[in-house]
Structure 1
Amino acid sequence: MRKAITVIAVVLVLVLIGAGAYSWLSSSDRSPIPESQRDDLPGLEEITEPDWCPDVEIVSTGGTWESWPTDDPFNPTFNPNSFMLSITGPLQAAYDINDVRVWTTPYTAQFKNINSQGEMSYDESRAEGTARVTGELRHIHQTCPSTDFILMGFSQGAVITGDVADQIGGGQGVIPAEKVRGVALIADGRREPGVGVNPGVEVDGIGAEISLQPVSGLIQFVVPGATMTGERPNGFGALADRTYQICAPEDSVCDAPYDIGNGIDRAMGLVEATGIHAQYASNPDVIPGTTTTQWAIDWAHGLINQ
């Protein structure tokens, strides 16, 4: 008899609990938890970033023979004479790494041609560099969503950086366009007049990859595995007003003539891009009143401190 009474009591209690729960869940008077009280509830706290997340990350990509895939991105030593180091070195010295993180792309910066058959092809090198840049951007954006970026590159590195910026500006990139404060492309082989911002002198030509695209098959005889890709599809899109194109007059990489001319000779000129192409750090005829190096340093400071 006692067991029966106990069972009945338990059933009644469960019925009352169920009825109360149903009444609470179905009540039209129930209001959401006020914002002021949500912070006190476990599991609703904001996700915090790691302490090392910087305000800005500079992603710098050097040109041909200026980088190596195992190089330290924070202390690159493969080529101490890399042009981009003349820019990133002073920037790195000016800021704490927890405020401004300077990251140099480690990739096989090579350009296989008839004089260097054992090197990685331009297409392969470019793909590797692009993967390294996008991988870093994706990693930092996912880990440190408040971090903004400054992108810069020289020569082969400018092509890589410009391609990444074109994807971001066109809405197909690994980070949103609003996370990019600025892009600097120095001696870009896909440079188009009127696309992006030119802070220096006007040059008459176009990027070699645009100029030589009609004879891309012929170029393979001199530069195997180097596809001349032509114009970028998006014109930098949302980043067009903050992407800077810097080109020295008569630099065969970014100031090539519109007419195809002798494709073989032009390809050799691309391979042997020395002289003017190697003088951006000191050439006073690229940006009036300053050098490319100093302009880029001042430009980056302005973006960092905006």
Structure 2
Amino acid sequence: MRKLLMAAAALVIIVVIVLGISRWMSSDPGPAPAPNGPVAAQPEHCVDVEFISAPGTWESSAVDDPFAPKANPNSLMLNVTNPLQQEFQGQKVKIWTLPYTAQFRNVNAQGEMSYDDSRNEGTAKVEQELQSVHAECPQTDFILAGFSQGAVLLGDVANKIGVQGGVIPPDRIRGVALLADGRRVPDAGQFVGNPVAGVGAEVALEPVNLLVQPIVPGATMRGPREGGFGTLNDRVFEICAPDDTVCDAPRDVINGVARARQLVEANGVHGMYLTNPNVIPGTTAPEWIVNWARDLIRN
């Protein structure tokens, strides 16, 4: 009888264990833990780095070839992109030049696209390029560099990414170089070269925006970028030649109309960045950008 009871008890224990295992196996285990391994590789055709160049006013075209721009053979940014293209040809580096209208309606050129419309067009195209490449190639990093109107719109893109976290993640931006930025202020970004006392023309002329409209219709003087460059602040570099009234304009609202006229007249300093030795000691602005971009690409 004792052995029979012990056998029955053992059988009960076995049944309980089997039922418990069965219930555990049929229950919902919940979400699987995230893998700790590396992120899956992106498509083979994706590049490691894309360099985006934004030419200045009258140095581009909405129908230009972004891989072989010919709209203006004297475009300042070609002195940056051509050397990079030659050096990194055949490597996983993409050089892309923004094709946009790049015009600036003023009293002397009433038939051109307004500055606001031209800048907005360029901004939208850059953001489209960033978003489409990032969607297909999420591990590709970007370097941005622009001159004059191109610097303004790339600065706006950097502002949106660094402050709002939009367009693409901030960690995909390796660096931004803004040459003659019309919205430059001393406390946003890192300044390179000889010091300047003024600010960008859009900042200096913001208080008299309505007064300058007859001279530059459709060119809104928007002032500084709200929030600066946010998380990108240490990766954004501002370059401005002393006395270039596009980026080194005096805060002189009394002479606002005169300052606006300077924007549409020949500005010798603004057009001399290729050779001006008084911008960055020991080099020129385009050479500095090439060396800076080369280091970012290699590292």
TM value normalised by structure 1 = 0.85
Q: 1:97 to 1:171 in 2, by over 3 A?
A: farther
Equivalence for 1:136: 129
Partner of 2:50: 57
Deviations 1:63-109 (A, max 9, x none): 00011111010000000100011001100111135511010000010
Q: Partner of 2:213 in structure 1?
A: 220
- Does the alignment pair 1:86 with 2:95? no
Kindly state the Cα deviation for residue 273 of structure 1 after the two structures are TM-superposed.
4.6
TM-score under structure 2 normalisation? 0.87
Question: Which residue of 2 is the match for residue 262 of structure 1?
Answer: 255
> 1:189, 1:209 within 8 Å by CA — same for their partners in 2?
yes
The reply on whether 1:167 has 2:160 as its aligned counterpart is yes
| C-alpha contact 1:24 1:30 (8 A) present in aligned 2 | no
Aligned to 1:40: none
Give, as a single letter, the amino acid of the residue that structure 2 aligns with 1:92: Q
What CA distance in whole angstroms lies between the structure 2 residues aligned with 1:243 and 1:180? 10
CA offset digits 1:221-247 (Å, max 9, x no partner): 001100000010111001111100000
Q: Distance in 1 between matches of 2:33 and 2:159?
A: 44
Paired letter, 1:53: C
Q: Aligned runs of 1:1-306 on 2, under 5 Å?
A: 23=22, 26-27=25-26, 49-96=42-89, 98-306=91-299
**Residue 262 of structure 1: how far off its partner (Å):** 2.0
Question: Where does the alignment leave 5 or more consecutive residues of structure 2 unmatched?
Answer: 1-18
CA deviations 1:19-65 (Å, max 9, x no partner) are x9xx57854698999999xxxxxxxxx86533221100011101000
Q: State how far apart, in whole Å, the 2-side matches of 1:98 and 1:204 are.
A: 41
| Residues 34, 181 of structure 1: alpha-carbon distance in 2 compared, 3 angstrom cutoff | closer
CA deviations 1:2-28 (Å, max 9, x no partner) are xxxxxxxxxxxxxxxxxx9xx578546
- 5+ residue gaps, structure 1, are 1-19, 37-45
Please provide the CA RMSD for this pair: 2.4
Counterpart of 1:15 in structure 2 is none
Residues 101-129 of structure 1 show CA distances to partners (whole Å, capped at 9, x for unaligned) of: 01000001000011111110000001000
Tell me, what secondary structure is at the counterpart of 1:60? strand
Change (3 A) 1:58 1:30: closer
Give distance in 2, aligned partners of 1:163 and 1:35.
36
**Inter-CA distance 168–297: structure 2 relative to 1 (3 Å threshold):** same
Pairs aligned (count)? 278
Distance 1:103 1:244 in 2: 20
Q: Post-superposition, which runs of at least 4 consecutive aligned residues in structure 1 deviate over 6 A? A: 29-36
